[in-house]
Amino acid sequence: MERIVIVSNRVPSGSSDAAAGGLAVALKAALGEREGIWFGWDGKIGKNTSRSAQVKRSGALTFATLSLSKPEFRGYYEEFSNRALWPVFHGRLDLCRPDGGSFQTYKDVNLRFARALTELLQKDDRIWVQDYHLIPLGRALRRLGVDGPLGFFLHIPFPQAESLAALPSLKELLADLCAYDLVGFQTQACAENFRDAVARTLGGCLQSDGSLTVGDQVVNVGAFPVGLDTRAFAEMAASPEVIRRSRKLRDAMGEGNWICGVDRLDYIKGIAERLRAFENLLQQAPELRGRLSLIQVAAPSRESVTEYRAMRDQLDSLSGRINGRFGTFDWTPVHYLNRTFSQKPLAALYRASRIGLVTPLRDGMNLVAKEFIAAQDPEDPGVLVLSRFAGAAEELSDALLVNPFDQAAMVEAIKTALAMPLKERQQRWRRMFERIEQNTAESWRNGFLEALEAAWEDRGEARAERAA
């Protein structure tokens, strides 16, 4: 079997990955035992920005990493990736504020990555580039003479053409994406938005099989919703250690119930809106005071970026306000935890909670929603309240779907979840569990790589026709 070469901005440093959900968790599960290279940034900022990657082997996998210099970190990561692409792709045009030279630095880093990667490549490698930090990498590889199958997967949403117009250098970025053989998205809606943007901006022609032709370039496009290693997560959540932890947590609540929210601290996650909805609920339903608490985990993220620091201050004060307003000597309404937790305590939290509140304002997929389902006790499952603007809503339609911008609807959804009869909870949970049992990290990987193979073969015919 050919080697798979994953390229992502972040490469996990060790075997124990602390983060909940997210790209690294999905990729780790997707790689499994397969032989390959995982190439990217080592997470360090320093002077040692050597030309060649540091290589470390671990079983079948080779980790190859590079450091970033301070100006590279600023221009490529903080500014262009996280103050231009991230807000625009999530519909927050008001927060798109990259500084002037950052697009050039973004391209330079991509070129530097491409050069270092070519030193490690073998002829039959399948190269799979991940996420918005690395859009230009494919075209840079092609220019350096790499002519094997090249795929790109976007983990975050791809917006409609009107929103995209806010992006500096949009044409160049779309042309970069069209240099891949296959571009994959989390949802059908995002794939459609991409086709539309390429047609409008680059004059691309949509073919009957859903691919796009731009000049003599053909790019296949598809939706590949990312999944979990569901079985492994469910087994971990049903292990004696996790069950013990979750019982302890439930006992601490007595007759009452826990609601949980688990996110990276990010303005797209709707944490402030969620806290306000919880506050409104306590205001409207005094009988719930003392009987319902929200545990909100907000793992620190991108703290050097201004908007994230502002968000942290906002959440500190909001959670403090709710506790100050409603708390008693023996009851704390909001347990706000601005820390990172590993998977076992999170699985215990999911299992102990009557409600999982996953209400991002916009999200590519949101694997926390799937982890919440995977962690439930089949006999007594909790209820998932899920934002209709999370990619996961396309698959998990048996959740209580809410509009996170609508406070009244959020309050109603929590009330409905609390009142839901056991039978209905079991039925909804069973259907969602079956779905995530089918759509796993492994099937995501296989689906994408098979489509990449097919795209590559199509290109072969086109190349031969051109040559003839």
Kindly list the catalytic residues.
Answer: 155, 363
Q: Does 302 bind ligand F6P (CB under 6 A)?
A: yes
CB 354 within 8 A of CB 384: no
With contacts defined by CB under 6 A, name the span among 20-28, 31-39, 117-125, 166-174 that binds ligand F6P.
Answer: 20-28
Q: Does 10 bind ligand F6P (CB under 6 A)?
A: yes
Q: Does 269 bind ligand F6P (CB under 6 A)?
A: no
With contacts defined by CB under 6 A, name the span among 18-26, 90-98, 341-349, 390-398 that binds ligand F6P.
Answer: 18-26
Q: Which two tokens stand for residue 80?
A: 């262009």
CB 60 within 8 A of CB 27: no
Applying CB under 6 A, what is the total number of residues that bind ligand F6P? 10
The least CB distance from residue 378 to ligand F6P, in Å, is: 29
Neighbouring C-alpha atoms within 13 Å toward the C-beta of 194: 32
The least CB distance from residue 323 to ligand F6P, in Å, is: 28
With contacts defined by CB under 6 A, name the span among 21-29, 47-55, 286-294, 354-362 that binds ligand F6P.
Answer: 21-29
Exposure class string for 274-297: b at 16+ Cβ within 10 A, else e? bbbbbbebbeeeeebbbebbbbbb
| CA pair distance 80, 86, nearest whole angstrom | 8
When binding is defined by CB under 6 A, the residue of 4, 6, 20, 22 that contacts ligand F6P is 22
The least CB distance from residue 43 to ligand F6P, in Å, is: 9
Q: Which is closer to ligand F6P, CB of 302 or CB of 428?
A: 302
Q: Does 131 bind ligand F6P (CB under 6 A)?
A: yes
Q: Which is closer to ligand F6P, CB of 135 or CB of 334?
A: 135
Q: Does 156 bind ligand F6P (CB under 6 A)?
A: yes
Q: Does 68 bind ligand F6P (CB under 6 A)?
A: no
CB 222 within 8 A of CB 256: no
The least CB distance from residue 101 to ligand F6P, in Å, is: 20
The least CB distance from residue 271 to ligand F6P, in Å, is: 15
Q: Which is closer to ligand F6P, CB of 24 or CB of 358?
A: 24
The least CB distance from residue 81 to ligand F6P, in Å, is: 8
Q: Does 362 bind ligand F6P (CB under 6 A)?
A: no
| CA pair distance 86, 77, nearest whole angstrom | 10
Q: Which is closer to ligand F6P, CB of 9 or CB of 211?
A: 9
Q: Does 160 bind ligand F6P (CB under 6 A)?
A: no
Expressed in angstroms, the distance from the first to the final Cα of the chain is 31
Q: Does 373 bind ligand F6P (CB under 6 A)?
A: no
Neighbours of 97 (CB within 10 A): 11
174-233 binders of ligand F6P (CB under 6 A)? none
Query: Residue numbers of the site for ligand F6P (CB under 6 A)?
Result: 9-10, 22-24, 131, 155-156, 301-302
